[in-house]
């Protein structure tokens, strides 16, 4: 009986196609007044970490998330929750723009 249940579970998992994907941590460097990479595709559940490698403060600000000021050598992270395209930028230096795409 137990084997029957196990067999059903295996069959059910196989029917799903693949194992659940483990969330990833992805990094964006803020250096020389730019985000690198300036475009990043992530999946729901992934964490994006921004590290400010400049000597001046920056922010990671979009319509749905806002780091506020990230001091030099500090990191701010965001867990992607909702699919969509999210353009973001620095509120201090408005020429700095980038985007993440959450799938």
CA separation for the pair 99, 59 (Å, rounded): 13
Is residue 92 exposed (0-12), middle (13-18) or buried (19+ Cβ within 10 Å)?
middle
The reply to whether 33 sits near other proteins by the rule CB under 8 A is: yes
Beta-carbon contacts of residue 24 (< 8 Å; ≥ 6 apart): 42, 43, 46, 47
Is residue 93 part of the contact set for other proteins (CB under 8 A)? yes
Choice from 57, 74, 75, 101 touching other proteins (CB under 8 A) = 57
Does residue 97 belong to the site contacting other proteins (CB under 8 A)?
no
For the bound state, the minimum distance from the C-beta of residue 52 to other proteins, rounded and expressed in Å, comes to 10
Which residue stretch of 14-22, 26-34, 59-67, 76-84 sits at the interface with other proteins (rule: CB under 8 A)? Answer: 26-34
Nearest CA to 75 among 91, 55, 53?
Answer: 53
Binding to other proteins by residue 92, rule CB under 8 A?
Answer: yes
Q: Which residues bind other proteins (CB under 8 A)?
A: 31-34, 53-57, 71-72, 92-93, 95
């Amino acid at each position: 009986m137990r084997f029957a249940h196990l067999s059903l579970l295996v069959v059910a998992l196989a029917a799903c196609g693949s194992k659940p994907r483990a969330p990833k941590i992805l990094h964006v460097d803020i250096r020389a007044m730019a985000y690198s990479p300036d475009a990043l595709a992530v999946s729901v559940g992934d964490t994006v970490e921004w590290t400010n490698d400049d000597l001046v403060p920056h922010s990671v600000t979009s319509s749905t998330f806002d780091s506020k000021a990230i001091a030099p050598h500090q990191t701010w992270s965001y867990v992607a929750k909702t699919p969509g395209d999210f353009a973001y930028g620095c509120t201090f230096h408005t020429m700095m723009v980038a985007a993440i795409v959450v799938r």
